[in-house]
């Protein structure tokens, strides 16, 4: 906000799929004219089914809250978990391990050591994916998800500037990609995405 002289809104969600990105941004864009959207392009976001959350997420995005139908919101209003969280917030008791600061949503950097030792903890160098069990990705499926979730969103809001950012992966991620034969598909997807953005004047 200070550097760019804007009023930013942090819409971060843990392990978001491309479908969930679209649902959240549709609500934000429906509410007001946004000047700029900055969004990450994570390869794994395009791995699940085109209209679904990542399968390994135990608490997926409640998509029923991201539509215009108020009658399907009862699971939220009647949820015991939501009631307990609301009570905790009213009593100013921390909920979970994530920050409740709106400027630092989902922040966990304050409780994790960033080091080589920590990165390798519990990882089998011979089978990096054994712990994470990421499914193999295909270029065709990733492009189908991109064309269904992201490209139409950008093209239908020509007055909003979209900046797509590839997050910097550690060398450990690329070593995993090598083991699972995912390097070529990842780089090919990156090239195709940049080509598609080239046809959209409001994207970079």
Q: If pLDDT is split at 50, 70 and 90, which confidence band does 70 have?
A: confident
Q: If pLDDT is split at 50, 70 and 90, which confidence band does 98 have?
A: low
Alpha helices in 91-130 (DSSP H): 116-120
Rounded average pLDDT over 63-91: 78
Q: How far apart (Å, rounded) are the C-alpha atoms in residues 176 and 174?
A: 5
pLDDT computed for residue 99 by the predictor: 64
Rounded average pLDDT over 48-75: 76
pLDDT computed for residue 190 by the predictor: 96
Rounded average pLDDT over 34-45: 92
Alpha helices in 3-51 (DSSP H): 18-31
pTM of the entire structure?
0.81
Q: How far apart (Å, rounded) are the C-alpha atoms in residues 43 and 135?
A: 12
Share of the chain above pLDDT 70, in %: 93
Q: How far apart (Å, rounded) are the C-alpha atoms in residues 138 and 122?
A: 27
Collapse the DSSP code of 172 into the 3-class scheme (helix H, G, I; strand E, B; otherwise coil) and give the result: helix
How do residues 136-173 score in pLDDT, each as one tens digit? 899 999 999 999 999 999 999 999 999 999 999 989 99
């Amino acid at each position: 906000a200070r550097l760019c002289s804007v009023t930013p809104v942090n819409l971060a969600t843990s392990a978001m799929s491309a479908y969930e990105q679209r649902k959240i941004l549709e609500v934000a864009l429906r509410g007001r004219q946004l000047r700029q959207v900055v969004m990450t392009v994570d390869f794994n976001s395009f791995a699940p089914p085109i209209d679904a959350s990542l399968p390994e997420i135990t608490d997926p995005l409640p998509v029923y809250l991201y539509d215009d139908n108020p009658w399907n919101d009862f699971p939220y209003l009647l949820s015991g978990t939501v009631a307990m969280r609301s009570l905790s917030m009213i009593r100013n008791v921390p909920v979970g391990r994530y920050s409740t600061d709106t400027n630092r949503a989902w922040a966990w950097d304050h409780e994790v050591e960033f080091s080589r030792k920590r990165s390798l903890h519990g990882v089998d160098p011979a089978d990096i994916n054994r712990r994470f069990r990421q499914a193999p990705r295909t270029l065709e499926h990733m492009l189908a998800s991109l064309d269904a979730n992201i490209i139409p969103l950008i093209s239908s809001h020509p007055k909003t500037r979209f900046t797509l950012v590839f997050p910097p992966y550690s060398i450990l991620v690329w070593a995993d990609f090598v083991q699972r034969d995912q390097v070529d598909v990842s780089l090919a997807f990156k090239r195709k995405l940049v080509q598609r953005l080239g046809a959209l004047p409001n994207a970079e």
